[in-house]
């Protein structure tokens, strides 16, 4: 035997795969992931995996990057799967500095598997950076506060920001959602501007505008674009504010 099998395989029932396929088909325009029929197998596998991880209705803590590596898929694919499962009402999830927290919905009792499909749109979608289907832009006062703190705390090597506008509104909304409250995010922003690495403090701003530097706060490194807003520079540099 070249390689012995594991002691226990996780099995997804055919009925579960079929139900998942039908449910994904009904999402239509709300769907985030691929429309290939074969995708239902991975989505059903993910939901079954979460069911195994959940104990007594408790939330499941996930590291999407680690899970994606283990399953040999991209993190953005698992994130799309979670978004679609949330749109179906089968679960809800949030993202934060310490990973993704998933809460499974309670199934209806005394009904067969085929009829346990929750109504569509029963939960809100998680906030994604620059996602057209995310909620509306923050209030103008929040954008103004962002500009004010940026100009107060920015390194002297970073250009100032001019009059506030809505160019960063979607990213700001996502960042505030990760932090939990606007006040928490303002603390993170201040720490990030004060403690950023030397490269970003001195080299990056050369030849760039204040708007470009501000946008860099609300982005991640090139190879972490799929990991979500919790990995943006503002949270990496300002993490100490969340632990205070």
Domain positions in the chain are: 14-115, 140-243
Threshold 0.75, pTM exceeds: no
- Express each pLDDT in 22-37 by its tens digit: 887 777 656 555 666 6
Domain 14-115 has CATH 1.10.10.10: yes
Calculate helix-pair angle for 210-217, 140-153, nearest 10 degrees: 100
SS3 164: coil
Is the pLDDT at 158 greater than 80? The verdict is yes
Q: Is the pLDDT of residue 186 over 90?
A: yes
Least confident of 68-77, 123-132, 136-145, 200-209: 123-132
CA distances from 58 to 52, 134, 135, 240 (A): 11, 27, 27, 28
For the residues of 3-38, what is the DSSP string, one character each?
SPPPS------HHHHHHHHHHHHHHGGG--S---TT
β-sheet bridge partners, residue 99: 96
Separation of alpha carbons 242 and 183, rounded Å: 11
Q: What's the average model confidence in pLDDT over 55-80? A: 82
Q: How many CB atoms lie within 10 A of CB 50?
A: 20
- Whether the per-residue pLDDT at 15 is higher than 90: the answer is no
Is residue 134 over pLDDT 60? no
> CA of 104: how far to CAs of 43, 55, 82, 94, 175, in Å?
14, 10, 11, 12, 24
The two three-digit tokens of residue 25, written as one number: 């088909």
């Amino acid at each position: 035997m070249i390689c012995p099998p594991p002691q226990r395989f996780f099995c997804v029932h055919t009925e579960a795969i079929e139900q998942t396929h039908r449910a994904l088909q009904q999402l239509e325009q709300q769907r985030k992931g691929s429309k290939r029929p074969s995708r239902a197998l991975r989505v059903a596998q993910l939901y079954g995996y979460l069911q195994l991880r959940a104990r007594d209705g408790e939330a499941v803590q996930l590291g999407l990057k680690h899970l994606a590596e283990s399953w040999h898929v991209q993190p953005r694919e698992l994130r799309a799967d979670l978004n679609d499962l949330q749109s179906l009402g089968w679960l809800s999830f949030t993202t934060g500095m310490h990973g993704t927290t998933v809460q499974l919905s309670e199934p209806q009792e005394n009904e067969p598997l085929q009829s346990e499909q929750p109504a569509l749109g029963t939960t809100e979608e998680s906030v994604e950076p620059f996602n057209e289907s995310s909620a509306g832009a923050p209030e103008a006062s929040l954008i103004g506060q962002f500009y004010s703190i940026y100009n107060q705390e920015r390194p002297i090597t970073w250009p100032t920001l001019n009059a506030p506008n809505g160019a960063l509104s979607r990213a700001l909304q996502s960042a505030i959602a990760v932090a939990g409250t606007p006040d928490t995010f303002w603390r993170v922003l201040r720490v990030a501007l004060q403690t950023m690495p030397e490269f970003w403090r001195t080299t990056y701003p050369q030849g760039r505008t204040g708007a470009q530097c501000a946008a860099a706060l609300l982005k991640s490194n090139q190879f972490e674009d799929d990991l979500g807003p919790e990995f943006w520079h503002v949270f990496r540099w300002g993490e100490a504010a969340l632990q205070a």
